[in-house]
Structure 1
Amino acid sequence: MPEIIALDIETTGLDSQNDSIIEIGAVKFNENRVIAEFSKLINPRKPINSFITNLTGISNSMVMNAPFIADVLPEIQDFVGDSIILGQNIDFDLSFFKKFGAFRENLTIDTYELASVLMPSASRYNLGSLSLQLNVVLTNAHRALDDAKATMQVYQQLIKKIEELPIDLVAEILRLSKGLNWQGELPFRWSLKALGARGIQPKRILDENEELFFNLEKAPRSKGLQPNPHFETLDC
């Protein structure tokens, strides 16, 4: 399995075009092994309001002497490289980087989208709720590195759920997700490949581009009920 970067940011607000990053946290890992961590406070060049400070614990005084995003971008880009990026609602986080041209080509995995398929009866799908339901300890919620660590552990628990699924269900989920730009696809493909390496195959065929299709040949049609030519009359 390739290296993955669990990425999380804290921001001055929800608008990626007008708000700014105030903290970046990232964890580089491979399966269950943590390789490296990244954590930086960022000076947003604007005041942090009291709501964000109460939510994150990050105050204006904490970022006053922190580097600007332009100074940190080369560092986080070097840390991430072309690795797959994992996140909870990852499109939100990446929107704050993509406006600077960063991480536009990286493949992504979203724990929110994975959990919505693997945990259909979950009460909520935010990071705190998923952590609680999957027995992941989330300390210092809304601090970027701690959230990134929790996202990694939530992902690892979701992978276990994929591994428990019948192979035909894994393949069917992939078939149904074809063309949807679903950010839960990669772990399902890896699971299918791992099972195939063990000689376990679903009822499927592959086209010349190695895309997944199913052999949808119809089962033989039943002849239905037929009269018995050797019937006997009932006694009256």
Structure 2
Amino acid sequence: MNDIEAIKHLEASGQYRVIERLNAPERYNQGQPSTPRIGIVIDTEATGLDTANDAIIELGFIAFEYDAHTGLIYRILHSYGGFEDPLEPLQDIIIQITGITDAMVKGEELDDDQINLWLQKADLIIAHNSAFDRQMLERRLPLTAEANWGCTFNDINWMDEDIASLKLDYIAYKMGYYFDGHRAVNDAQATLHLLTKPLPCSGTLAMSALLAHAREKSRRFFATGAPFDRKDDLKARGYRWMADFIYSDHGKQKKGVWSKSVAEAEIEAEQQWLTDTIYSGKTPAFIFKDITARERYSVREFTVD
């Protein structure tokens, strides 16, 4: 009995589920895409979680060819992995989480020329947590600020697919594979691999689902001047408190606002809810910013000109 026969035998019993180790292919689909595009899946490790102050210590990416119409992924075009010395000792918790040591990063620098070459070619950049990776990268590699971004963490409705945890290794397990973690390029490859899979409940190709969401416009509302006694209503509605947001209210500078992003189809209903519930039918004081993949997950999403 060979491996394939053994796997079929085990799974046929209904008592076992076999998952595969990820062995990344050089090509996922044969032929040529009818509407070819270049995508990059990217992952970073950093000295901490503060996107405004912490430093990148590792970057890995996979560049690939995909069809903008079908979402099918074709050739792997390039891969890169590199470290960068933050010029300060790593915290013990960072060493524990990432597996990266001071010795691994000492004297290392990212290859900006190689990275920027592929960033310039990319039609779309994808990360598993783009709200972190994009903001880290925009400080270190400004070209990433000009790109369209997607996010496998947020741009696919995993709850609807009966996947309760959004950790990459858990999603991979639910999608039928596992991978060697800890290196950024390995995480990037694992993220790309899940995009080639049909989603478990809807059957939609994961890349197609991500593209559909990335192409949608959204609107971020800032409930400026909201009465304090409406904070529970805002919180229950999904608004989050942005403590550092500064705005002008009748000539006075104020700090802190409740904010939420909604899909284009929900904009009218959200504006009505704010007017009726938060501002009690008075002229609403909220402000907003319209968002596309060019701004989404960037720090620019959370600022108003």
Task: Sort the TM-score into its range (normalised by shorter chain).
Answer: 0.5 to 0.7
Aligned residue number for residue 275 of structure 2: none
Instruction: Please state how far the C-alpha of 1:57 moved relative to its aligned partner.
Output: 1.3
Q: What per-residue deviation string (whole Å, max 9, x for no partner) do you get for residues 32-69 of structure 1?
A: 421110111111112111111122211001111212x5
Structure-to-structure mapping, 1:130-141, within 5 angstroms: 130-139=171-180, 141=181
Instruction: Please state how far the C-alpha of 1:102 moved relative to its aligned partner.
Output: 2.9
Aligned residue number for residue 40 of structure 2: 5
Q: Specify which of 150, 174, 179 is matched with residue 109 of structure 1.
A: 150
Structure-to-structure mapping, 1:179-218, within 5 angstroms: 179-180=218-219
Write the distance in 2 (CA, Å) between the matches of 1:163 and 1:25.
Answer: 24
Q: What per-residue deviation string (whole Å, max 9, x for no partner) do you get for residues 180-221 of structure 1?
A: 589xxxxxxxxxxxxxxxxxxxxxxxxxxxxxxxxxxxxxxx
Aligned residue number for residue 94 of structure 1: 134
Kindly indicate whether residue 81 of structure 2 is the aligned counterpart of residue 39 of structure 1. Answer: yes
Aligned residue number for residue 78 of structure 1: 117
What's the secondary structure of 2:178's corresponding residue? coil
Write the distance in 2 (CA, Å) between the matches of 1:162 and 1:135.
Answer: 16
Q: Specify which of 105, 111, 126 is matched with residue 63 of structure 1.
A: 105
Aligned residue number for residue 243 of structure 2: none
Contact (CA 8 Å) 2:158, 2:164: kept in 1 or not?
no
Give the letter for the 1:52 counterpart: I
**Judging changes above 3 Å, is the alpha-carbon distance between structure 1 residues 128 and 119 closer, same or farther for their aligned structure 2 residues?**
farther
Q: What per-residue deviation string (whole Å, max 9, x for no partner) do you get for residues 100-140 of structure 1?
A: 4231121112111233257442111121111111113221x
Q: Specify which of 131, 141, 147 is matched with residue 187 of structure 2.
A: 147
Give the letter for the 2:146 counterpart: E
Write the distance in 1 (CA, Å) between the matches of 2:49 and 2:143.
Answer: 19
What's the TM-score once normalised by structure 2's chain length? 0.50
Instruction: Please state how far the C-alpha of 1:74 moved relative to its aligned partner.
Output: 3.4
Give the letter for the 2:175 counterpart: L
Write the distance in 2 (CA, Å) between the matches of 1:107 and 1:144.
Answer: 21
Write the distance in 2 (CA, Å) between the matches of 1:94 and 1:121.
Answer: 27
Tell me the number of residue pairs that the alignment of Structure 1 and Structure 2 aligns: 171
Aligned residue number for residue 127 of structure 1: 168
Instruction: Please state how far the C-alpha of 1:178 moved relative to its aligned partner.
Output: 4.2
**Judging changes above 3 Å, is the alpha-carbon distance between structure 1 residues 98 and 163 closer, same or farther for their aligned structure 2 residues?**
closer
Contact (CA 8 Å) 2:197, 2:205: kept in 1 or not?
no
Write the distance in 1 (CA, Å) between the matches of 2:44 and 2:136.
Answer: 9
Contact (CA 8 Å) 2:46, 2:56: kept in 1 or not?
yes
Give the letter for the 2:42 counterpart: L
What's the secondary structure of 1:114's corresponding residue? coil
**Judging changes above 3 Å, is the alpha-carbon distance between structure 1 residues 158 and 25 closer, same or farther for their aligned structure 2 residues?**
farther
**Judging changes above 3 Å, is the alpha-carbon distance between structure 1 residues 129 and 59 closer, same or farther for their aligned structure 2 residues?**
same
Q: Which of the two has greater strand per residue? A: 2
Larger Rg: 1
Aligned residue number for residue 21 of structure 1: 56
Contact (CA 8 Å) 1:6, 1:85: kept in 2 or not?
yes
Q: Specify which of 85, 88, 91 is matched with residue 49 of structure 1.
A: 91
Write the distance in 2 (CA, Å) between the matches of 1:80 and 1:2.
Answer: 13
Write the distance in 1 (CA, Å) between the matches of 2:79 and 2:199.
Answer: 21
Q: CA RMSD in A?
A: 2.8
What's the secondary structure of 2:60's corresponding residue? strand
